[in-house]
């Protein structure tokens, strides 16, 4: 029997009207050339500093958002790519807002009951985490949010490139947990074809090992996938984690 319950969830982020095209190439990390359906070739901003393994194949259908801001050098932003198993969200600016809004609308069961959310919180000299949640006169919860777009054979993995910054975030979460706070590392999978999550040992073994270490120290690991279409993005399922 097909489970259609996710179809009725509200969109957490609604896309503006998206412009379809074909990806010609991604280069210099933050640029992508796209041929629109009318034949025009445009350069779009790629808001993703990762390697984008498995989700930047030339010839794939992509969707761009358009900005009318006259101060912007590039008026298009690359939002989605159509891969064989799923639409994939490539804009790493999406997860922080998405997770915050999902928490405050109480769509994430493990993170309900908080009264206040503050983004981009400085936790120590040289360290910031993506989100701090508070309950009135009670628990403080710190969350680091990671975008996950790498999926192979049903396994979602992070990172898609070596990340010393990500290792630092794990250490900071463990420090805050030791001080009596709640600490969560949250992976948002911007695609629909994953069945489970595991760290990308072959790409960054040190990150994978550190994730195991901080989990044993009480840092929680939450992984959710998403439901994506050209209208918007919804919260999907919580996925199992293999460390």
Q: Is 207 helix (H, G, I), strand (E, B) or coil?
A: helix
> Which pLDDT belongs to residue 54?
84
**Hey, what CATH topology would domain 13-87 get?**
OB fold (Dihydrolipoamide Acetyltransferase, E2P) (2.40.50)
pTM of the full structure: 0.93
Residues 6+ apart with CB under 8 A from 31: 43, 44, 45, 46, 74
Residues 11, 231 contacting (CB under 8 angstroms): yes
**Hey, what CATH topology would domain 94-238 get?**
Trna Endonuclease; Chain: A, domain 1 (3.40.1350)
> Which pLDDT belongs to residue 5?
53
> Which pLDDT belongs to residue 214?
98
What DSSP string describes 159-181?
-SS--HHHHHHHHHHHHHHHTT-
Q: Residues, the chain, total?
A: 243
Residues 131, 99 contacting (CB under 8 angstroms): yes
The rounded Cα 202 to chain-centroid distance in angstroms is: 20
Burial, 51: exposed, middle or buried (Cβ in 10 Å; 0-12, 13-18, 19+)? middle
- Domain ranges in the chain are 13-87, 94-238
> Which pLDDT belongs to residue 27?
95
> Which pLDDT belongs to residue 3?
47
DSSP H stretches of helix in 29-131: 94-104
> Which pLDDT belongs to residue 4?
44
Taking alpha carbons only, the member of 78, 7, 16 closest to residue 234 is 7
The rounded Cα 37 to chain-centroid distance in angstroms is: 28
Per-residue pLDDT tens, the chain, 243 aa: give them. Answer: 334 456 678 999 999 999 999 999 999 999 999 999 999 999 999 999 889 988 999 999 999 999 999 999 999 999 999 999 899 999 999 999 999 999 999 999 999 999 999 999 999 988 999 999 998 877 899 999 999 999 999 999 999 999 999 999 999 999 999 999 999 999 999 999 999 999 999 999 999 999 999 999 999 999 999 999 999 999 999 999 999
């Amino acid at each position: 029997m097909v489970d259609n319950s996710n179809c009725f969830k509200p969109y957490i982020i609604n896309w503006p009207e998206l412009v379809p095209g074909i990806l010609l190439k991604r280069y210099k990390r933050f640029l992508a050339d796209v041929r629109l359906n009318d034949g025009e070739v445009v350069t779009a901003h790629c808001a993703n500093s990762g390697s984008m393994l498995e989700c930047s194949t030339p010839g794939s259908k992509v969707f761009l958002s358009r900005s009318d801001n006259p101060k912007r050098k590039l008026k298009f932003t690359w939002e989605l790519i159509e891969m064989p198993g799923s639409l994939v969200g490539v804009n790493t600016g999406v997860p922080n807002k998405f997770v915050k809004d999902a928490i405050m609308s109480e769509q994430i069961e493990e993170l309900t009951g908080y009264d206040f959310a503050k983004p981009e919180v400085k936790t120590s000299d040289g360290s910031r985490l993506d989100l701090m949640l508070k309950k009135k006169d009670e628990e403080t919860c710190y969350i680091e949010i990671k975008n996950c777009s790498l999926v192979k054979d049903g396994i979602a993995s992070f990172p898609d490139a070596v990340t010393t910054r990500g290792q630092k975030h794990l250490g900071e979460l463990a420090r805050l947990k030791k001080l009596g706070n709640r600490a969560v590392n949250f992976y948002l999978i911007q695609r629909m074809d994953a069945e489970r999550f595991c760290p990308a040992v072959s790409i960054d073994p040190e990150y994978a090992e550190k994730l195991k270490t901080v989990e044993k120290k009480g840092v929680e690991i939450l992984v959710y996938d998403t439901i994506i279409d050209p209208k918007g993005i919804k919260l999907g399922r919580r996925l199992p984690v293999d460390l």
